[in-house]
Amino acid sequence: MLEINHGHIVTVASSLGLFSTAGVEDYCASKFGVVGFHESLSHELQAAEKDGIKTTLVCPYLVDTGMFRGCRIRKEIEPFLPPLKPDYCVKQAMKAILTDQPMICTPRLMYIVTFMKSILPFEAVVCMYRFLGADKCMYPFIAQRKQATNNNEAKNGI
């Protein structure tokens, strides 16, 4: 890519690489790392004047793959922010790649959350998370995982 100054690098992260929530610190930290690596690589390509190499950062909200089954935001908000279908995320990512869009957040509301996080004081962001139910959205997921682990241990006599 560098030799011919042509190509496209796509980095798949998560909205949890742009803002975090309680209970999945390890996941958030890894996604923050992915976002930071992508930004650094993009700056490196620009500094090297490799404008023929495009980059796209993909940051979807909760994707309905079962990975975080049980994750729940505030019930009044859930109809407006349901888990995303995998094929929808792929279509949005492909549109972004084919139009050389540097970043795609799905749904678009994620841009607003990211923007608000960057301009509001931490305490205001906490209030926003609490209003949305995002501050503890992973707790039901974690409880389900613990229950499944306990059931497996009991089944196996551990």
pLDDT in tens, 2-39: 999 999 999 999 999 999 888 899 999 999 999 999 99
Give the rounded percent of residues in the chain with a pLDDT score beyond 70: 96
Tokens of 110: 């994620």
pLDDT value at position 158? 60
pLDDT value at position 153? 64
pLDDT value at position 151? 74
Q: Give the domains, in start order, of the chain with CATH numbers.
A: 2-156 (3.40.50.720)
Confidence of residue 154 (pLDDT cuts 50, 70, 90): low
Higher pLDDT, 53 or 76: 53
Per-residue pLDDT tens over the stretch 52-69: 999 999 999 999 998 888
Angle between helices 109-119 and 122-132 (to 10 degrees): 150
Q: Which residues are catalytic?
A: 27
Whole-angstrom distance, CA of residue 85 vs CA of residue 75: 19
pTM (2 decimals)?
Answer: 0.84
